[in-house]
Structure 1
């Protein structure tokens, strides 16, 4: 599914799902069950993205065992034959565009989740100066400190520039999962930035494989834009001493914003009372 947010920002939602009854083992990282930085997640089959209700989900209005939601960003519509719209479904639609767009931060609003349950968010990262340099970071929210209250029992998973190497990378997309199932390896705690061991078995809140189920209400994408714009300022007034002698001043400042702020003063003639 493609959604246009501005003239140069398109979001593409897609999904992968498990094939019952092997829900847990169908989720893989790379081609196996061991996650390593740089890999993305996959599951057994293509799923459909539910947008028919007030929530986003995979094959329903929830995200659950073995399912993942992809959300990728482009500067133009990347789907083949973009003039053809849905409904009806377009099973032949493919992603052909490569003109990526980037985000700096993301807020994911989630319902039907309790403090301590898991949300796994994989950031797809691209180097700011070399688009061939890509990697991934797996963030795990599984404690009360990882969530912000959104009211009505909803929670917000907020990912900011301090949660990844934002000095060198930007976010090109995300994968959202309710748990990492049988995948082992290491993720990063969203709130502490410490290591989180991915567990292949377990049914407790602290286990990343505990088959949590949640509903995604919305995903907010935050971007920043640098604009080169010059500014002209004028300062005028009087300087007055203790016995009322004064001097007028009137000068202009031209501020050039071109990566470096340069102040260029051009004072006019000043007069002093006698």
Structure 2
């Protein structure tokens, strides 16, 4: 009598997601860099070798350790007033991640609510919300953020709120498009017949099935928030000195580009790697969450 062979159990949702995600090597590399960046940001107070605002007058524009005149005291060198670049970059990662988290969280929550209202209720509410979104999209995003910061005053909080306002239309349109697809499904009709109210339909039945594209957009929104905040800081509309923010660090040392390349190169590289990591992770999330891309 032959033995009964049991079929292997299918992987759970998280295991299936990780299996699809790790096929994209660039996405795994981006995720690893983000984890390292998060550890550095959280532990900057212990990992940074110096206070980011401390000025060492005996080490102005000191080069990195591998160049003539460099020392292990300042591994990546110092800026024009003797502040340690490595410490400022570490504390700058904390600020960049905080701004990215704040911008993405606020714009995602507001975008989901407005997109659900527009897509599910329709009618005049849909028309009003989408016309406002069209007006916002008609304006250049960075210019709109600059105008808002100029009105309310340059600061890291006002710059974050301005970037939230700028990023909002993308989440509204994406949520509305996903909701319009889901409201015609049989499970929504059956739930409506069973007596489910509009709030339950939107937030319990429809929203969970719209989260996949929103998660991908949120990961890409992190990179946009970091890049836009650096641009505002570079233009003097974001974090104000002596706050260690990557864009502000670039703006403060432009006049020393030719004689001290490191004061410009390292903040620029930090911005580049952070934006690239979030974009790579976003590509991996898209591959893992979009059923159309699965074989």
Could you tell me the TM-score, scaled by structure 1's length? 0.21
Q: Point out the structure with max Rg over C-alpha.
A: 1
Structure in which a larger fraction of residues adopt strand = 1
Structure in which a larger fraction of residues adopt helix = 2
